[in-house]
A = this chain, B = another copy of it.
């Protein structure tokens, strides 16, 4: 009798539910359902008041409603008996967070707070906490906080405590009234295992080591930053951890609880079905790509790119967005690095030139490495790893009166490849081995040219993840693991991952030996103009010489 696990994959606009056979990872059913309110970035649904341009909120009821629809639909498609569902995994965008009461009720659903924007869940891309992020970083650097090095030296604008601090500064009554601030992934797990609200209790709240570690400066050994640190940031924040951060931390794959009866009937599932602790959506792509072993980098390539890896080694290096023990899979140090702009930079070019991806891809593929003399810097949305600087911007260098759009397009692809290479070099230079590469996300299947350039620039073989839904599949795998070996038959986590997902053996990009020296030179140029000791003019001269020598 086949058994199944479910992946609940909460994205920015919708939730997707996957019903997966735990024996081989076959997807037996799937469905997605958009959130009724989508991203709330123009006006508040209640008061219709205009929101500032850097605001991005969500409606918590949407998550439950859309989940119910998608789950029932996926189960119906799969024709699976709820009794054959052994476990559930949940991935969620992060840091998407909200203030709630001790019974699980989001503050924004209470009459008293429903017209206050900062009482609503802040989506990951809510950018209202600029001043607070600055202060949080300044004080951490002044005090030389030891945890800062785990985040490459910089706390991000989109993270957890900047969003709390913003609430304290701009809506102190919300801060006061909140019994707890929590990640949306943790809130969702809490709701389906203990609720839904108002049936929950903070005594039974679990939090994911993934979300807490990558976005909340939490660490298994030392916990959150100290009372003294928070007091130095702002005296009113001194007790934030004691007062607002209740909850026990569990790593993804560990069981947070079983489905509550009320939630089971909401979802059409069996009460008591084990639910794994949540995971950040991108990080779920690691098990979802079938990567169980350390030192294999999973590159999730999309509008932006996120590169994750488990390692036995703990080393801190500049610009790594986070190093978290048990952050992705238990037993390993999980590394997260990223590029802030990849597919969306290509989309900018397509839109700005009024051309199509197809045309540009086709013409770009005819060009040699180096795009006939054009070099791009890919920081159209700032640089994440390794410089951690949102103020950096994109650039094109090497333009002449004969430069064509396809040169700019290929140069942008090459620039993002140099960006990955820089990340890998940074990790290796720090002593973190990076041995294998698996690509997932939307771009690999769309652009063989991009994959070949990445393989050439890295001078490494790159396998493609099998599923085009590796994030949701990863959640389902974590659900299977949470069910435990006696139910699933998998003694080791790695067995479950290898059985349910695997990189494709038949679709592997290998580096072209002929291009190796060319891309080495171009990468040097990219580093010299994007680094801190290069000059633009010098790079231009070398670039031109390079172009002339290779055309």
Q: Which single member of B389, B394, B397, B401 contacts A348 (CB below 8 Å)?
A: B401
Query: Interface-forming stretch among A4-12, A119-127, A527-535?
Result: A527-535
Shortest A399–chain B CB gap in Å is 3
In the bound assembly, the distance between CA atoms of A403 and B381 in angstroms comes to 11
A380 engages B399 (CB within 8 Å): yes
A193 located at the interface, meaning its Cβ lies under 8 Å from any Cβ of chain B in the complex: no
State how many residues of chain A have any CB contact under 8 Å with chain B. 44
A536 located at the interface, meaning its Cβ lies under 8 Å from any Cβ of chain B in the complex: yes
This chain: copies in complex: 2
B398 engages A396 (CB within 8 Å): no
SS class of chain A's interface: helix, strand, loop or mixed? mixed
Residues of B within 8 A of A348 (CB): 399, 401, 403
Shortest A386–chain B CB gap in Å is 12
Residues of B within 8 A of A404 (CB): 352
In the bound assembly, the distance between CA atoms of A330 and B544 in angstroms comes to 41
A353 — nearest CB in chain B belongs to which residue?
B353
A543 located at the interface, meaning its Cβ lies under 8 Å from any Cβ of chain B in the complex: yes
B381 engages A400 (CB within 8 Å): yes
Residues of B within 8 A of A530 (CB): 536-537
In the bound assembly, the distance between CA atoms of A389 and B540 in angstroms comes to 11
B532 engages A537 (CB within 8 Å): yes
A145 located at the interface, meaning its Cβ lies under 8 Å from any Cβ of chain B in the complex: no
B395 engages A398 (CB within 8 Å): yes
A347 — nearest CB in chain B belongs to which residue?
B401
B399 engages A397 (CB within 8 Å): no
Residues of B within 8 A of A533 (CB): 535
Residues of B within 8 A of A398 (CB): 393-395
B403 engages A352 (CB within 8 Å): yes
Shortest A388–chain B CB gap in Å is 12
Residues of B within 8 A of A393 (CB): 373, 397-400, 540, 543-544
A538 — nearest CB in chain B belongs to which residue?
B532
Q: Which single member of B352, B391, B396 contacts A541 (CB below 8 Å)?
A: B391
A536 engages B377 (CB within 8 Å): yes
Within 8 A of B (CB), among A388-430: 389, 391-401, 403-405
Residues of B within 8 A of A392 (CB): 537, 540-541, 544
Within 8 A of B (CB), among A492-545: 529-541, 543-545
In the bound assembly, the distance between CA atoms of A536 and B391 in angstroms comes to 12
A251 located at the interface, meaning its Cβ lies under 8 Å from any Cβ of chain B in the complex: no
A532 engages B535 (CB within 8 Å): yes
A341 located at the interface, meaning its Cβ lies under 8 Å from any Cβ of chain B in the complex: yes
Q: Which single member of B354, B394, B537, B543 contacts A399 (CB below 8 Å)?
A: B394
B395 engages A380 (CB within 8 Å): no
Q: Which single member of B352, B381, B535 contacts A534 (CB below 8 Å)?
A: B535
A345 located at the interface, meaning its Cβ lies under 8 Å from any Cβ of chain B in the complex: yes
Within 8 A of B (CB), among A335-371: 341, 344-345, 348, 352-354
Q: Which single member of B341, B532, B535, B543 contacts A401 (CB below 8 Å)?
A: B341
Within 8 A of B (CB), among A173-187: none
In the bound assembly, the distance between CA atoms of A377 and B375 in angstroms comes to 14
Whether A545 contacts B381 in the complex (CB less than 8 A), given A341-B401, A353-B352, comes out as: no
Residues of B within 8 A of A545 (CB): 391
Residues of B within 8 A of A536 (CB): 377, 395, 529-530, 534-536, 539
Residues of B within 8 A of A396 (CB): 395-396, 399
Shortest A162–chain B CB gap in Å is 18
Interface 1/0 per residue, A137-163 and B, CB below 8 Å:
000000000000000000000000000
B540 engages A405 (CB within 8 Å): no
Residues of B within 8 A of A352 (CB): 353, 403-405
Residues of B within 8 A of A532 (CB): 535, 537-538
Shortest A133–chain B CB gap in Å is 15
A380 engages B394 (CB within 8 Å): no
B534 engages A401 (CB within 8 Å): no
In the bound assembly, the distance between CA atoms of A403 and B531 in angstroms comes to 23
Residues of B within 8 A of A377 (CB): 536
Beyond A353-B353, A373-B393, 11 extra complex contacts between A and B, CB < 8 Å = A352-B353, A352-B404, A377-B536, A391-B544, A391-B545, A392-B537, A393-B544, A530-B536, A532-B537, A535-B535, A535-B536
- 28 CB-based A-B contacts, threshold 8 Å: A341-B401, A348-B401, A352-B353, A352-B405, A354-B354, A379-B540, A381-B401, A391-B540, A391-B544, A391-B545, A392-B544, A393-B397, A393-B399, A393-B540, A394-B400, A395-B398, A395-B399, A395-B540, A396-B396, A396-B399, A529-B536, A531-B535, A532-B535, A532-B537, A533-B535, A534-B536, A535-B535, A535-B536
Top 10 A-B residue pairs of the complex, sorted by shortest distance between their CB atoms = A394-B399, A391-B544, A395-B397, A393-B398, A536-B536, A391-B541, A396-B396, A393-B540, A529-B536, A348-B401
